[in-house]
Amino acid sequence: MLRILKSFAAVGIAIGALTAAAHAADIKIGFVVKQPEEPWFQDEWKFADIAAKEKGFTLVKIGAEDGEKVQSAIDNLGAQGAQGFIICTPDVKLGPGIVAKAEANGLKLMTVDDRLVNADGSPIEAVPHMGISALKIGEAVGAAIADEIKKRGWDMASVGAIRVSYDQLPTAVDRVEGAISSLKAAGFPEANIFDAPQAKTDTEAALNAATVVLNKHADVKHWVAFGLNDEAVLGAVRASETVGITPDNFIGVGIGGADSAINEFKKPAATGFFGTVIISPKRHGYETALNMYEWVANDKAPPALTLTAGELALRDTYVEVRKNLGIE
Ligand code: GLA
């Protein structure tokens, strides 16, 4: 009798394992990003793919650069029989619409990088989110710039700062305000900080915005720059080059650490792109995909809010920092 029971149990376990496997294969998760060509998002997808392979679910990667594309991406996921998706939206104000569309399609929803907001600008707290610790990381950017200003022996009063801004995005505001607070704490005069609003969050838009500032203050010799991400700061660096400012007179520190920054560090001679605070596409891609999988497969909801850290990297330290973060 015992033997019969045992074999029943064994069969039960085998069937259980089989259904679990079949179940994972039925799971389809979307990963929607606002700027698919940006190396940061390519890396997020890359790490999300690793999670999909490990767990055996299907990952559907969709680029959605505007609200209309977001709407059709969500409908498309619903029609394909997906159970949930992770999104970095092109516009956080689409928040209530995205929540409604996800619900209408029976999809679980989690956000990454850019947190959805309500009509009044407050974050939609019901949607689980993973973002960076924007203020802290911004402060690290500002501190790195202030240290380097001192090292170069510049007089703070004679330095101009380019605040490459994208103020419609709360995390962008927190990042640049963090940088400004560190600069001010180090004695940087607020009057020397010039706003360079970018129309889009890419290098070209930042180049255009920074060029306006540099042309307006052509008498300033030393410059520093900070912004939302590496692309923003690279735009300011390219702008400085076009007006003939040399790297020894420019200190740009970005946020990201993906290929846009690494390619700059790999150039034979240093440019005005002095450093970057490397953040983790592994956590943002792999972990969010895994979170969503656990939610769909095992009904384990993701943490309501996860804020990830960053680490400063320069030309001669980035290889090691990347290694430490597991993102080589
Ligand atoms: C925003 C930026 C990206 C990247 C992420 C990181 O979405 O646009 O470049 O910095 O935040 O969370």
Residue 131 pLDDT class (50, 70, 90 cuts): very high
Domain layout of the chain by residue ranges? 28-127+282-307, 134-279
Assess whether pLDDT exceeds 60 at residue 6: no
Say if 28-127+282-307 and 134-279 have the same CATH topology.
Answer: yes
Q: Determine contact, residues 194/165, Cβ cutoff 8 Å.
A: no
**For residues 231-245, average pLDDT:** 98
State the residue for tokens 């973002």: 131
Residue 255 CB–ligand 1 contact under 6 Å = yes
Q: DSSP assignment, residue 80? A: T
Residue 3 pLDDT class (50, 70, 90 cuts): low
Residue 24 pLDDT class (50, 70, 90 cuts): confident
Question: How confident is the model at residue 45, as a pLDDT?
Answer: 98
Residue 202 CB–ligand 1 contact under 6 Å = no
88 Cα nearest atom in ligand 1: 7
Q: Determine contact, residues 21/57, Cβ cutoff 8 Å.
A: no
How far apart are alpha carbons 320 and 67 in whole angstroms?
Answer: 39
Question: How confident is the model at residue 20, as a pLDDT?
Answer: 53
Going by CA atoms, what residue is nearest to atom 6 of ligand 1? 113
How far apart are alpha carbons 72 and 77 in whole angstroms?
Answer: 8
* Residue 16 or 60, more confident: 60
How far apart are alpha carbons 87 and 298 in whole angstroms?
Answer: 21
How far apart are alpha carbons 39 and 42 in whole angstroms?
Answer: 5
What spacing in Å lies between the alpha carbon of 220 and ligand 1's midpoint?
30
Question: How confident is the model at residue 326, as a pLDDT?
Answer: 85
3-state class (DSSP) for residue 296: helix
Pocket test for ligand 1, best of 229, 259, 279, 325 (most atoms within 8 A of CB): 229
How far apart are alpha carbons 255 and 232 in whole angstroms?
Answer: 9
Q: Determine contact, residues 290/86, Cβ cutoff 8 Å.
A: no
Assess whether pLDDT exceeds 60 at residue 1: no
Assess whether pLDDT exceeds 90 at residue 12: no
- Residues facing 275 on adjacent strands: 253, 314
166 Cα nearest atom in ligand 1: 8
How far apart are alpha carbons 282 and 43 in whole angstroms?
Answer: 8
Q: Which of 316, 300, 296 is nearest to 52 (CA)?
A: 296
- The CATH fold of domain 28-127+282-307: Rossmann fold (3.40.50)
Q: Is the pTM of this model over 0.75?
A: yes
Residue 256 CB–ligand 1 contact under 6 Å = yes
Mean pLDDT score across all residues of the chain? 94
**For residues 317-326, average pLDDT:** 92
Helices (H), the chain: 2-26, 39-55, 67-79, 95-104, 134-151, 170-185, 203-216, 230-242, 259-266, 281-282, 288-298, 318-324
How far apart are alpha carbons 214 and 233 in whole angstroms?
Answer: 14
Residue 327 pLDDT class (50, 70, 90 cuts): confident
Interval 178-206: pLDDT, tens: 999 999 999 999 999 999 999 999 999 99
How far apart are alpha carbons 282 and 286 in whole angstroms?
Answer: 5
What spacing in Å lies between the alpha carbon of 9 and ligand 1's midpoint?
50
Question: How confident is the model at residue 229, as a pLDDT?
Answer: 98
In this structure, is the dihedral angle defined by the CA atoms of residues 205, 210, 215 and 216, taken in order, positive or negative? Answer: positive
> What are the two backbone dihedrals, phi and then psi, of residue 253, each rounded to the nearest 5 degrees?
-130, 120
Assess whether pLDDT exceeds 90 at residue 4: no
What spacing in Å lies between the alpha carbon of 56 and ligand 1's midpoint?
28
Q: In this structure, are strands 305-308 and 311-314 parallel, antiparallel, or unpaired? A: unpaired
Q: Which of 205, 246, 229, 263 is nearest to 44 (CA)?
A: 229
Interval 44-101: pLDDT, tens: 999 999 999 999 999 999 999 999 999 999 999 999 999 999 999 999 999 999 999 9
Residue 114 CB–ligand 1 contact under 6 Å = yes
What spacing in Å lies between the alpha carbon of 91 and ligand 1's midpoint?
12
Residue 8 pLDDT class (50, 70, 90 cuts): very low
Q: In this structure, are strands 222-226 and 273-278 parallel, antiparallel, or unpaired? A: unpaired
* Residue 2 or 32, more confident: 32
- The CATH fold of domain 134-279: Rossmann fold (3.40.50)
